[in-house]
Amino acid sequence: MSAIPSVDLRDFVSGDASRKEKFIKEIGAAFEDIGFVALSGHFLSDELVEQLYAEVKNFFQLPQETKDSYEIKGIGGQRGYTSFGKEHAKGRKEGDLKEFWHFGQYVENDPKLEKEYPDNVTVTELPEFNVVGKETYKMLEKTAQYVLRALALHLDLDELYFDEWIKNGNSILRPIHYPPITNEPKNAVRAAAHGDINLITLLMGAHGKGLQVKNHQGEWVDAIARPDQLMINVGDMLSRLSNNKLKSTIHQVVNPPRELWGSSRYSIPFFMHPVSEMPLNCLDNCVDESHPKGFEDTTAGEYLHERLIELGLVKK
């Protein structure tokens, strides 16, 4: 038995009230407990997943000089390429053992946000890379929208509560490459223990073990989804909004056993962010005598900026 509960999004969109209610209960209970679920029935096809992994591998196999040309200065790594070891977890000096790419929002009918968000970066060497990246982004965003509708109902909000805040939201699709480990890492792991910043994260079935989640007993448990599932977890923004009713759980990506050091690992998370104006003030219906308000009022934009400074991606 996996320590991570499984749910099926087809229950929520089935049109059957009892199946919909079952999904809301299951995902609500999982997110109040361990903060992670393995979700099947999402909107990504097997073909699209296969295409994306092929394109991502092609990109990371490009010469370092070519990849470096896509590292855009002055935008805190929000689009394009971020080179190996640049990002570190909050409170750590050692850079994570990874390089990654960022696809960002494809803004529709909002000139203000078009100016606010950096442009997506086009990889001229790989004509399909950006096409497949955009399609994957859209399908993961659609999946996340339905998950958030279920969570809105679980929190006794209107089903469409999150829709206005996530439309044109500052979401990020991040293909990550953890290269082969060539030397004994000094205090560095592939991704040090951290909580995610955003509302929810959708992780496409990572190739290989490594992702671990910290349970209530303080033990690290493996989080492994089937190839057809997405691993979905609560981020700090949703935890704040729900006054920690929904748990943003600490997780990490550990280094493989020494005999597997020679292999690459690829992982593709989608970080669902709202627009920067979204208030993250604790919801009134999540605050009572037993659960006093645990967080100061802030907005998604203010909170994101503060966290990017902590991660070393933005200077004060």
Residue of 249, 276, 250 whose CA lies nearest to 92? 250
Task: Kindly report, residue by residue over 59-87, the tens digit of the pLDDT.
Answer: 999 999 999 999 998 887 889 999 876 65
pLDDT-derived band at 1, boundaries 50, 70, 90: very low
| Residue 143, amino acid | T
C-alpha to C-alpha distance for 146 and 151, rounded to whole angstroms: 9
Q: Which CATH superfamily is domain 6-310 in?
A: B-lactam Antibiotic, Isopenicillin N Synthase; Chain (2.60.120.330)
> Who has greater pLDDT, 132 or 311?
132
Confidence of residue 220 (pLDDT cuts 50, 70, 90): confident
Work out the angle at residue 101's Cα, subtended by the Cα atoms of residues 149 and 228, and round it to the nearest 5 degrees: 50
Residue whose token pair is 């995610």: 196
pTM to 2 decimal places:
0.89
Written as six digits, the tokens of 217 are 């007993």
Instruction: Give the burial class of 236: count Cβ atoms within 10 A of its Cβ; 0-12 exposed, 13-18 middle, 19 or more buried.
Output: buried
Q: Is 302 helix (H, G, I), strand (E, B) or coil?
A: helix
| pLDDT tens per residue across span 197-210 | 999 999 986 545 67
Domain chopping of the chain, boundaries: 6-310
> Per-residue pLDDT for 154 more than 50?
yes
The dihedral built from the CA positions of residue 206, 241, 105 and 191, taken in this order, carries a sign that is: negative
Q: Are 80 and 138 in contact (CB under 8 A)?
A: no
Q: 3-state DSSP call for residue 64?
A: helix
Tens-place pLDDT, residues 278-303 = 999 999 999 999 999 999 999 999 99
> How far is Cα of residue 234 from the mean position of the Cα atoms in its chain?
9
Q: What is the mean pLDDT of the chain?
A: 88
| Contacts for 239 with CB less than 8 Å, ≥ 6 apart | 195, 246, 247, 248
Residues 51 and 29: their CA atoms lie apart, in Å, by 34
Extract the runs of DSSP E, i.e. beta strands, from 148-264.
172-173, 176-178, 191-194, 200-204, 211-214, 220-222, 230-234, 251-253
